[in-house]
Amino acid sequence: MGEFVRLEVADGVATIRLDRPKMNAINARLRDELAEAARAADADPAVRAVILYGGERVFAAGADIKEMAELSYVEAAGHCRALQGALDAVAGIGAPVVAAITGYALGGGLELALCADFRVAGESAKVGQPEILLGVIPGAGGTQRLPRLIGPSRAKDLIFTGRHVPADEALDLGLVDKVVPDDQVYEAAKELAARYAGGPAAALRAAKEAVDAGLEVDLATGLEIERLHFSALFATEDQKIGMRSFVEEGPGKAKFVGR
């Protein structure tokens, strides 16, 4: 457990919990602890799904501007590379990842949420990429992951204006997948994560890798990626369990073991 990031595992679901008062501003220490927690969750065979959570009040209000304000060009390049690396570690978690967004998810906070597969937001949550208001642009994936999620013109609107987007609009944009009462955000994320915790772990990882990698290549290459992952799953115990259960009992009754 780090100073600002905790990793807690229960019933196959890991929670990566940001806890840096008051707004979970992402400084170098939190960034490094986040990367460490993501790698630990990915390496733990007991982890079948992951929740990103900043607590009841705020997800993450962005990068620590005081730490960044006087950086030189060389220092800024290194800072950006390190932050991108930390968020890449989160995006690289093989298990399904759900971001539980309370309060603000701004700048680096939204970029962290974009690394998840799904996003659940509280009714009063606000998201956005306000870096333009500081004279810079998003530097931890906002110009890349955001347009891939909601399309280039909608992403440009958020990035060019820096405006805060309320939860209902974020849902309409496809920026979040579900909006719930503020006090139910974590439980809603946990329910979503629990859907996957009992699933075939290798197949879920393969599906995530195939979709994510396929988005970056041409269709023919993507289909080859899919074929290789599909074929490899016939070496797993869960494939035998799943297909035998289907034949003998019908769909949806398999009890997977994660191997």
Q: How far apart are CA 210 and CA 84, in angstroms?
A: 22
Q: How far apart are CA 207 and CA 229, in angstroms?
A: 8
| Residues designated as active site | 111, 131
Peptide bond just before 253 cis, omega within 30 deg = no
As a whole number of Å, the end-to-end CA separation of the chain is: 28
Indicate the pairing of strand 97-101 with strand 49-53: parallel
